[in-house]
Amino acid sequence: MRLAKLFLIPFLMLAAGSALFAADKIFPYPYVQEDLPNGLRLITIPTDYPNIVALYIVVSAGSRNEVEPGKSGFAHLFEHLMFRGSPEFSPEKYQAVLSEAGAASNAFTTDDYTAFHTTFSKEDLPRILSMEADRFQHLAYDPAAFRTETLAVLGEYNKSSANPASKLQEVLRATAFTAHTYRHTTMGFLADVEAMPGAYDYSRQFFDRYYRPESTTIIVAGDVDPKRVRALVGERWSTWKRGDYKAQIAVEPPQDGPRTAHVDWPSPTLPLVAVAWRAPAYSDSTEDAAALDAIARLAFGQNSPLYQKLVVDEQKADSLRASMADRVDPYLFTVTARVKKAADLDAIERQIEATAQEFAAKPVDPAKLDDLKRHMRYDFAQQLDNSEAVAETAALYVALRRTPESADRYYDMYAKLTPEDLARAARQYLTERNRTVVTLTSVGGAK
């Protein structure tokens, strides 16, 4: 088979006693990356963790791809439907194979992608790769099975519905976005979830559009030989037909001024506030997203002056966190706080906004930025403590740029960030015009 692309990344073993900063690549494992002629990408990552293999199959379709009105939540529903069997492997037979392999198997859906992951003993790799090839190419479920699965999805909505943080996120997205599909959560609008049982035909169309080799990447990490994995994948996945669908995802127009929303929560809870700004998409080549990530950590993380003030000293909030989410399209920079007294809610919101302004007005202390850079590298290294985590981390970057190399590029860029980069990003993005604030309080008042 023709090798469309082949990388063999040099490897620097992190032996005990070595300094992390001697490593020039943040993603320390060598891997082989190759595209099959049908567009399917295979990334094989041998690790030094024995016996275990972690398989991640990443499909570049998430709730971002739910472009038709009334169809929010379909990428997630589809994650469920993938376990509904094929002519060769009924759901029972599929499960039996996983059980015999002692496999831990699951799947999850995000805004941008859906991942199917299985961790098992190395001797079961051929069987599992073959079975997965079967369901990705020959998934078959009847309308009755489809309708039953929609109820499991409603059950998933129900299990999260007691948590006001889920509602806060729902309302924040629906307020901050008017056109782009990031307007809804991955779970989808409740009305759409409740209407799913009637959408069997659409579900087949969704599969036909997105479950295609050119949208899919297979990551195999662990106790594996790349040549053998390549042969196994070639054997069973080469027959998968390429598709041609391109989703037309609406571009969100620039925000034209601050927005607010409020949620009345029916039972006792502590007040919540989310302050969010429209932010750029993930990038491993321009600094803005990385600079905003650094602000999220320095301005609102556990070590930040604001956290120390609100959570540790004054103890007016019991949680303060911020995230600059990595997304394919522009999304949000979000700060959330859980506040002990509703009377403090407004003041805390203002302090969050003022903190963002301070970052725009004055470059951060370079020593703090250096500490953060060290933190980021150690944090990354400590996450890679088993093959499943290696595959999962690779999947994050595969979802964004279809290669773990993006992690190296992103962290290299992060290492070069300057205080002025942060200030510039704050001035550009953390503006009043770009801001959405959502609050949530208990109907009966905070208890």
Site for another protein in 199-258 (CB under 8 A): none
Range in contact with another protein (rule: CB under 8 A) among 302-310, 352-360, 397-405, 428-436: 302-310
Task: Note whether 275 and 334 are within 8 A (CB).
Answer: yes
Minimum distance between the CB of residue 116 and another protein, rounded to whole angstroms? 12
Q: Which is nearer to another protein, 239 or 303 (CB)?
A: 303
Task: Note whether 187 and 73 are within 8 A (CB).
Answer: yes
Q: Which of 29, 74, 120, 333 binds another protein (CB under 8 A)?
A: 120
Q: Which is nearer to another protein, 45 or 103 (CB)?
A: 103
Helix axes of 226-237 and 125-138: crossing angle, nearest 10 degrees: 30
Cα distance between residue 58 and residue 380, in whole Å: 21
Count of residues binding another protein (CB under 8 A)?
81
All residues at 6 or more sequence positions from 415 whose CB lies less than 8 Å from its CB, including other chains = 373, 377
Partners of 59 in beta bridges: 114, 216
Q: Which is nearer to another protein, 176 or 310 (CB)?
A: 310
Minimum distance between the CB of residue 23 and another protein, rounded to whole angstroms? 10
Partners of 132 in beta bridges: none
Helix axes of 419-429 and 288-300: crossing angle, nearest 10 degrees: 90
Minimum distance between the CB of residue 22 and another protein, rounded to whole angstroms? 10
Minimum distance between the CB of residue 111 and another protein, rounded to whole angstroms? 21
Q: Which of residues 22-51 bind another protein (CB under 8 A)?
A: 48-49, 51
Q: CA gyration radius for the chain?
A: 23
Q: Which is nearer to another protein, 250 or 443 (CB)?
A: 443
Q: Which is nearer to another protein, 272 or 335 (CB)?
A: 272
Q: Which of residues 136-175 bind another protein (CB under 8 A)?
A: 143-152, 154-156, 158-159, 161-165
Half-sphere exposure of 417 (CA within 13 A, CB side): 37
Task: Note whether 36 and 42 are within 8 A (CB).
Answer: yes
Minimum distance between the CB of residue 437 and another protein, rounded to whole angstroms? 21
Q: Which of residues 278-297 bind another protein (CB under 8 A)?
A: none
All residues at 6 or more sequence positions from 408 whose CB lies less than 8 Å from its CB, including other chains = 25, 26, 27
Q: Which of residues 305-364 bind another protein (CB under 8 A)?
A: 308, 311-313, 315, 318, 338, 340
Cα distance between residue 45 and residue 225, in whole Å: 9
Q: Which is nearer to another protein, 158 or 239 (CB)?
A: 158
Q: Which is nearer to another protein, 95 or 428 (CB)?
A: 95
Integer CA distances (angstroms), 420 to 19, 229, 291, 335, 426, in order:
29, 46, 9, 22, 10
Q: Which of 10, 87, 257, 266 binds another protein (CB under 8 A)?
A: 266
Of the candidates 394, 372, 373, the residue with the CA atom closest to the CA atom of residue 383: 394
Q: Which of residues 47-76 bind another protein (CB under 8 A)?
A: 48-49, 51-52
Cα distance between residue 426 and residue 296, in whole Å: 10
Task: Note whether 131 and 94 are within 8 A (CB).
Answer: yes
Q: Which of 2, 5, 241, 447 binds another protein (CB under 8 A)?
A: 447
Q: Which is nearer to another protein, 33 or 150 (CB)?
A: 150
Task: Note whether 337 and 301 are within 8 A (CB).
Answer: no
Q: Does 105 bind another protein (CB under 8 A)?
A: yes
Q: Which is nearer to another protein, 180 or 338 (CB)?
A: 338
Range in contact with another protein (rule: CB under 8 A) among 12-20, 29-37, 178-186, 418-426: 12-20
Q: Which is nearer to another protein, 371 or 432 (CB)?
A: 371
All residues at 6 or more sequence positions from 427 whose CB lies less than 8 Å from its CB, including other chains = 360
Task: Note whether 307 and 296 are within 8 A (CB).
Answer: no
Minimum distance between the CB of residue 342 and another protein, rounded to whole angstroms? 13
Q: Which of residues 366-405 bind another protein (CB under 8 A)?
A: 371-372, 374-379, 381-382, 385-389
